[in-house]
Amino acid sequence: MITLYGIPNCDTVKKARTWLDANGHAYAFHDFKKAGLDEATVARWLAQQPWEVLVNKKGTTWRGLPDEQKATVTDAASATALMLQSTSVIKRPVLCVNDQVLVGFDPTLYQQALQA
Neighbours of 83 (CB within 10 A): 25
Question: Is 96 assigned a catalytic role?
Answer: no
Q: Is 104 left (phi over 0), alpha (psi -120 to 50) or beta?
A: left
CA atoms within 13 A on the CB side of 38: 2
From the list 3, 4, 9, 10, the catalytic residue is 10
Neighbours of 2 (CB within 10 A): 17
Question: Which positions are catalytic?
Answer: 10
